[in-house]
Amino acid sequence: MKGILTITLFFAALSLMAQSKDEIIKRGIEVRRYYEKELDEGDTEFFIFKEEYFNVQGELVEIKEYKNKGKEVSLWFKYKYDNQMQVIEELELDEKGLQKERIEYKYKDGLRIEKIYYDNKNRMRQIRKYEYGYR
């Protein structure tokens, strides 16, 4: 029974993500901002804690998370996609917008075959290969 519940929750989450992407496209949403107010800390105003930017296909192209009541960037990623809407590059930036790490993805026949990691100076530091077995 627990396995069925887990599978059901998994597919429900996938459905919500798809609906969200469809809604982003339908409404032409370019950016979604999240705000919060920490009542237990005495906040009287809302502050930004997250921003998500989307392309016209509804794919996430940039995400920023904030700390210190929205004053500092704590997490910053940018994404690039190919024509099949597969992520081909993931860029992690520091609070100043400088590269911390870059990851490049390679695909063959729609399947990921390689993941290449680069450091903050864009020097290759690790390669992961993916292999698939078929029935």
The pLDDT tens digits for 7-25 are 544 444 444 344 588 999 9
- Please check the confidence at residue 39 and state whether its pLDDT lies above 60: yes
Give the pLDDT confidence of 55-99 residue by residue, as tens digits: 999 999 999 999 999 999 999 999 999 999 999 999 999 999 999
Which two structure tokens, joined as six digits, stand for 105?
């993805």
Structure tokens at 114: 């390689």
For domain 30-129, give the fold: Lipocalin (2.40.128)
Structure tokens at 84: 């099949």
Model confidence pTM above 0.85: no
Q: What's the CA angle centered on 104, arms 87 and 94, to 5 degrees?
A: 95
Q: Left if phi > 0, otherwise alpha if psi is -120 to 50, otherwise beta: which for 59? A: beta
CA dist., res. 106 & res. 115, Å (int):
6
Q: What is the pLDDT of residues 103-131, one digit of tens each?
A: 999 999 999 999 999 999 999 999 999 99
DSSP string computed for 76-125: EEEEEE-TTS-EEEEEEE-TTS-EEEEEEEEEETTEEEEEEEE-TT--EE
pLDDT computed for residue 1 by the predictor = 53
Classified as helix, coil or strand, 60 is strand
Q: Taking the CB of residue 117, how many other CB atoms lie within 10 A of it?
A: 15
- For the chain, which residues make up each domain, given as ranges? 30-129
- State the Rg of the chain over Cα: 19
Planar angle of CA 31, 34, 37, nearest 5 degrees: 155
In 3D space, the residue among 82, 33, 34, 93 whose CA is nearest the CA of residue 59 turns out to be 82
